[in-house]
Structure 1
Amino acid sequence: MHIQLICLGIFQAVVTTNAVTIYGQQTLTTSTTSAAGSEYTGPAAYNPTTLVPPPVPSPFNTQFTLQLQNGGTNGLSIPVDGAFLGFSIEMSVANQVLGKNSSFIQVPFLNLMANLQQRAGRVHVRVGGNTQETAVLLDSTPDGRILEKNATGSSNPTQTPPLVFTPDLLRMMRKISSFVNVRWFLGIPFLVDTPNRLAIAEQGQAILGDYLIGLQAGNEPDLYARHLHRNSTYGPYDYVGEFGDLVTQMSNDANAKNRNLLIGPNIAYADWTTEDIWNTGFVDQFSANLAYLAVENYPTDNCAVQFNTGGTVHAPQDVFPSYLDHNAGRSIINKFLNSTNYAQSKGKKLLMFETNTASCGGFPGVSDVFGAALWGIDYGLQMAYSNFSGALLHVGGQNPFTSPPTNQSTYHQWTVGPVYYSSLVVAETLGPSNATQVLDLNANGGDIHTPAYAIYENGNPVRVGIVNFVDDPSGASTLSVSIAIGGSGVGQPNATPAQVKVKYLLASSVSQKGNYTWAGQTFGGHFDSDGRPIGTENITTVQCDQVNNVCVISVPAPSYALVFLDGTLTETEGAPSTTFPTTAQTKTRNTATVDATLLATSNGGFDKKKLGSTSPGGGVKNAAGAVRPAVGVVGSVLAVVGGVLFVFLRGV
């Protein structure tokens, strides 16, 4: 081994890295195809299948007006903040997404979080899921890794492995928060409730401090009986009783000092409803302990294909249109509207704690295309309008992002998926004020293909977001949307500005894979990104007609347009622009092999044939593919010695 030191003379007390996620690929034995004649048997995350977009609706009105007013607008949401869309990382893959350990942090992850911090001021990330439920915190592991899985002890239909981890996982999270303002959710192992394992709560509070904002108590407890974790009669009152046992145990633990961080009930809305929990008196009984109320939900699943569950097989081409209209998000949210009202009545915030396009790997041609980005924007803004206080997009496959297979890490970068664009755009739409209110404008006579939202601050509209779900390369379906403020018989003087600025999220089709542009910048396609947007930013200035009190905005088919009514952009209001460049490369040969059983990807899955969700109702949860013994190296290491930043070029 040789080590070369380069003194950069930068005085900064940091440790970072260009580490690579280490996992291998194996050809899948069952292909998922959707377009006629398609055939693909490689890693699911890079499936090239392209679907046929739905036809242009008929009739389709392309011209309509959005009439806004300053002050006195009814129907606004509760105040929300720009960090509304965060991320959920299955605990079993945290070492692949976040970094190898506290000294080797994934630079692309830092950049992706920094983009959001720049717009919203902070990012919310949960490390947990089904693999947290039996996780054991050890002082160390025999081989020194911060996380290991027991492939022989898996459970659930989706093969969730038992997990052990060390405090260095928490130290790595804390170090990430020293670079970018990431606030963390963790979970207490709940499947073992006699007594609960509180080490993660103790160490989490000690290491993360104020960066720890919540502790999940139970992950999808309404599925416990179905998954044979509890007896067949296990119900809401049983969960509430176990929650009470946890509170009592924490009260007797001097090291679990903050007992007000708990999150429940976290149900999947599968075998119980939220009302089943509320009716037990859960919130009133534990109000002092509940930092948040939370649910988990997804529009559908691909579990029958990924895990041979015997359930319904959904053809991607058949479900594709259901993601491309305003009803897609509303159909998920409607069953929780009573709960958002209930949460407000109890002075609590309700989170969508885990969600994405579909469970068990998502659908090729649906979850990995531009239509999913538009879906994520509309879904996110609809949740905000419906009085959710945040949502976490589960990480897996290409969504929201994934690192390359280790044996390609020396020449490939990360893949940024469509719903990361959703999170970026929603952050910029909502902004960093932490007090924006959202209004669904029921635009275009309620046409489900052209939803629009107004964003209010201090009672006045400051931004408008318009979605065009229609796929039409001819240009005939481009929207011409007239925005007016005041006037027009609403009892207010004309208040339309002289000009507005517009940012567009664009692609050629709802079926396009990668290379979408947000205001002219992109994260590229497969293996293209280090987490920093590339390209020249392009912001459109639209001159308004103040005589007729109108600004006319063009919205191509398909696209999302964000209109800044006061001309103030939100992209730099959350925090100064920060990037973490990769400054050195690892050797590209003579690398070491790695035990595959320690490097299984997906959110708990380890099956060498199929990977996916840990929950039949879960989100897009599988990583790039199944594992086998792979090769990999640690990337460039940035470390501080005596206040001077060194770069270590390491070779094996």
Structure 2
Amino acid sequence: MPSLSFLSLLASISLCASGVAAGVTTYGTTELAAAAKPSPTLCVGAVPCDLNVLQPMANPQQPASQAVPVQLYSGGMNGLSIPVAGSFLGFSIEMSVANRIIGNDGNKLIPTFLNLMSTITSRAGKAVLRVGGNSQESASVVPAGLPNGTAVYKVPNPNPAIKQITPTLLISPSLVYAMGNISSLLPIEWFIGLPFNDTNNPRRELAEIAQKVLGKNLIGMQLGNEPDLYSGNGIRTNAYQPSDFTADFGTFLQDYKNDSGVPNTNIFVAPSVCCGGSGNGWTPEQVFDTGFLTDYGSNLAYISVEHYPANNCNESGQVVDPNFVMSSIYLNHGAVSFLNQPYVNTAQIAVSMGKPLIMFETNTASCGGFSGLSDSFAATMWGIDYSLNMAYTNFSNALFHVGGESDYYNPFTPPPTNQTEFRHWTIGSTFYTALVIAEAFGSSGNARVVDLFLNSASIYTPGYAIYENGTPERVVLINYLTDPSGASNYTAYISVGGNGTNTPGATPSSVQVKYLLSPSATEKFNISWAGQTFGGPFASDGRLLGNDQIYTFPCDTNNNFCAVTVPAPGVALVFLSSNAFKESAPTTTQVFSTSTTGTTRPAITVTIPQAVLATSNGRGGGNWLGLGSTSPGSSKSLNSSSRMRVSVLLLVCFASAALFGSALIIR
């Protein structure tokens, strides 16, 4: 079993040990190792290369060593959630930048995105994605397509002096064809956002095309995105109320029911309110009280809400200090639990109706997030805690938002539009969150989650158990603290039954553990999941680098416990059985390759079967227009330090096979 000092060492050398340092051979080539080096040209002025690194929060006074009992029970525990799937955590892609992420049509998809989704589907069985957001409200389909093969075009504001919060968006049908062909390659299901800004002009073409092209892979159509903000965004009058939204929803719904091109009118997603309790928003119950569920519940596939834990839109001119909110909102399990409390009743209503409740859009903070926080390991750990707590609150799914190039919270960001796409994506810290959640829930669809309120409900050391069919299968242990000395590490003593519970001891003889590690909560790219990483800014083609590192810990069956140490900072995913480990282990991850035909803008191609291409009406080709940020207030000016080129950090790797011992399995 690895020693405590070695686990501390792992946090400081994880990037190096994961095969990312210069010259390390990965997947049989040195080419991928070289790809981990960021491009100095791409880094000039780019958000992914922002050098703003926050100071980790100060640690509380506590004993030098910690022993945390984790008592589990055979047969279940009080408070278990409804069953959830490994695909619980998906991604919401802003419509106005969707073509930059997924591709412009079915002929030219973006392999980096496919590779990223393949890492999720190989673990979770499938992935759930949404294309929508603020920009969907003004979207209009151009049936004949857009010039130069463009799939999405944001119409420039004709009067920059007037703030245009939701731009007019032109959509080519080829965007939906790209979505359909992606689902022919990978098990991906889609939500689509429909325009809702004008009851006199419903613009049903997007729903018609989506239902025809996506078929069963279209699992929801959203009507109304954050309607409680419509008056402030200029979409409706200042007097707009929940009753007005319900009336508008009914008007639109009737339009779709009268449209023979939209045969399925029972897959809508609503009400998608965002801000109840904040002084300028509605709660879901305020909408329900208007008769919304009574009148239209049968037409809903999902009951939806949207929420960000912090507002960084800067409407008042008051700048939020990310150093302050890091400890009060993010590295704080109490704050995470508080986020979900307003939805406990909403979840009960959804369960009673047999409807899944989905957090349709969320991330670290509205309007692109915080520099140094949203793009850090703190956001990774917070995202895991938040996702597990949403599942515990009986959400069925949650979607982390992906915005424009100036957004700090992006789980993944393509390179600037005038640069090559060849291995130049940036994989953000929150994408690691999705990998951990996929493996924590597994692919059975029967995972049930319970908050263990570990360590006397400490806000710094949350933990969850995941049950399947009454049996504890996995435990997730989080340590929010940063302490290179190892003094803030803690050891969880996991027991199943026994110990005065009046049930037989059922602690396994050994457990397998995967670690999510980084040297600091404020680290941005030196992050590894089970020894693997995506590398630094503008350095990824969507494939993990390095070999899996899985630790096997023997348990003390005589005393009925398994001891698992959790570094500070870090997350441990503990598998309590070989079946649990096998169910969560990624299957063979499908890899999509790139090919270049030019020096400035390569053609990114994926081979699509001719039968699939037939559904796209032959649309394709052309050069793509790039788009920036979409959320109000999220286009930020970078400070001078953000415009500096990122220097390449040279890491010295010094680890031998003897250091790992027999507990480490390299696969």
State whether TM-score is above 0.5: yes
Residue correspondence of structure 1 range 184-199 to structure 2 within 5 A: 184-199=190-205
> 2 CA distance for matches of 1:196 and 1:591?
38
2:225 pairs with 1:219? yes
Equivalent in the alignment of 1:466 = 477
Whether 2:73 is the aligned partner of 1:62: answer no
| 2:202 is aligned with 1:175 | no
- Indicate the SS of the match to 1:151: coil
Query: Could you tell which deviates more after superposition, 51-60 or 155-164?
Result: 155-164
- 1: distance between equivalents of 2:191 and 2:142? 20
Number of aligned residues = 571
**1:283 maps to amino acid:** L
Shift of 1:145: 1.4
Question: Structure 1: how far apart are the matches of 2:242 and 2:448?
Answer: 33
Task: Give 1:583 shift.
Answer: 4.7
CA distance in 1, matches of 2:73, 2:492: 16
Q: Secondary structure at the match of 1:568?
A: helix
Q: Which residue does the alignment assign to 1:505?
A: 516
Q: Which residue of 1 aligns with 2:55?
A: 52
Q: Which has the higher helix share?
A: 2
Listed one character per residue, the Cα deviations across residues 503-535 of structure 1 (whole Å, up to 9, x for unaligned) are 000000001111311111111111221111110
Compared CA separation, residues 456 and 371, structure 1 to 2 (3 A): same
Which aligned pairs between 1:512-531 and structure 2 lie closer than 5 A? 512-531=523-542
Q: Contact 2:225–2:273 (CA<8 Å) still a contact in 1?
A: yes
Residue 279 (structure 1) shift: 1.1
Query: Larger deviation: 60-69 or 442-451?
Result: 60-69
Residue 366 (structure 1) aligned with residue 355 (structure 2): no
Q: Deviations over 1:290-325 (max 9, x none)?
A: 100101100112222xxxx33431012222212112
- Alpha-carbon spacing, 1:90–1:287, altered in 2? closer, same or farther (3 Å): same
Deviation at 1:160, TM superposition (A): 2.9
Q: 1:339-386 deviations in whole A, cap 9, x for unaligned?
A: 111211222111110000012221111011111100000000000001
Report the CA distance shift for 1:393/1:98 in structure 2 as closer, same or farther (over 3 A): same
Judging changes above 3 Å, is the alpha-carbon distance between structure 1 residues 574 and 166 closer, same or farther for their aligned structure 2 residues? farther
Question: Which of the numbers 111, 114, 118 marks the counterpart of 1:114?
Answer: 118
User: Unpaired runs of 5+ in structure 1?
Assistant: 1-24, 28-39, 612-623, 626-652
Q: What amino acid is the match of 2:146? A: T
**Separation in 1, partners of 2:59, 2:285:** 39
Deviations for 1:378-412, whole angstroms, at most 9, x for unmatched residues?
00000000111111000133520011124442675
Q: Which amino acid aligns with 1:107?
A: P
Equivalent of residue 280 in structure 1, options 290, 299, 302: 290
Tell me which residue corresponds to 1:264. Answer: 270
Query: Residue 251 in 1 paired to residue 251 in 2?
Result: no
Q: Please tell me whether the aligned partners of residues 367 and 632 of structure 2 are also in contact (alpha carbons under 8 angstroms).
A: no
Distance 1:570-1:116 versus aligned 2 partners, 3 A rule = farther
SS at match of 2:564: strand
Distance 1:110 1:411, change over 3 A: closer
Deviation of 1:174 (Å): 0.4
Q: Which deviates more, 316-325 or 256-265?
A: 316-325
1:455-493 CA deviation, whole Å, 9 max, x = no partner? 000011000000000110100111111000011111111
**Does residue 427 of structure 1 match 2:427?**
no
SS state at 2:449 partner: strand
CA-to-partner distance for each residue in 1:575-625, whole Å, 9 max, x for gaps? 732332435334325999xx99942212367998759xxxxxxxxxxxx99
Question: Which runs of 5 or more residues in structure 2 are unaligned?
Answer: 1-39, 604-621, 644-667
2:627 aligned with 1:600, yes or no?
yes
After superposition, the Cα gap between the structure-2 partners of 1:205 and 1:443, relative to the gap in structure 1 and judged at 3 Å, is same
* Displacement of 1:62: 1.9
Instruction: Note if contact 2:444-2:583 (Cα within 8 Å) is conserved in structure 1.
Output: no
Distance 1:410 1:294 in 2: 34
Work out which of the residue numbers 217, 229, 239 in structure 2 matches 1:233: 239
User: TM-score when scaled to structure 1?
Assistant: 0.83
CA-based RMSD of the aligned residues comes to 2.6
The answer as to whether partners of 2:267 and 2:301 remain within 8 angstroms in 1 is: yes
The AA in structure 1 aligned to 2:629 is: S
Deviation at 1:229, TM superposition (A): 1.4
1:151 lines up with 2:156 in the alignment:
yes
Residue pair 1:154, 1:160 contacting (<8 A) in 2 also: no
Deviates more, 1:116-125 or 1:153-162: 153-162
In structure 2, the CA distance between the partners of 1:137 and 1:475, relative to structure 1 (3 Å rule), is same
Note closer, same or farther for the CA distance 1:292–1:216 as it changes in structure 2 (3 Å cut): same
Aligned mate of 2:92, from 70, 76, 88: 88
Equivalents in 2 of 1:431, 1:367: separation in Å?
26
- Percent identity reads 44
Q: Residue by residue, what CA displacement relative to the aligned partner does 1:538-578 show, whole Å, maximum 9, x if unpaired?
A: 00000000000100000000000000000335576587323
SS of the aligned residue for 1:553 comes to: strand
- Residues 26 and 608, structure 1, Cα contact 8 Å, conserved in 2: no
Q: Equivalent residue of 2:149, what SS? A: coil
Matched, 1:200 2:206: yes
Q: Partners in 1 of 2:543 and 2:41 — Cα distance? A: 29
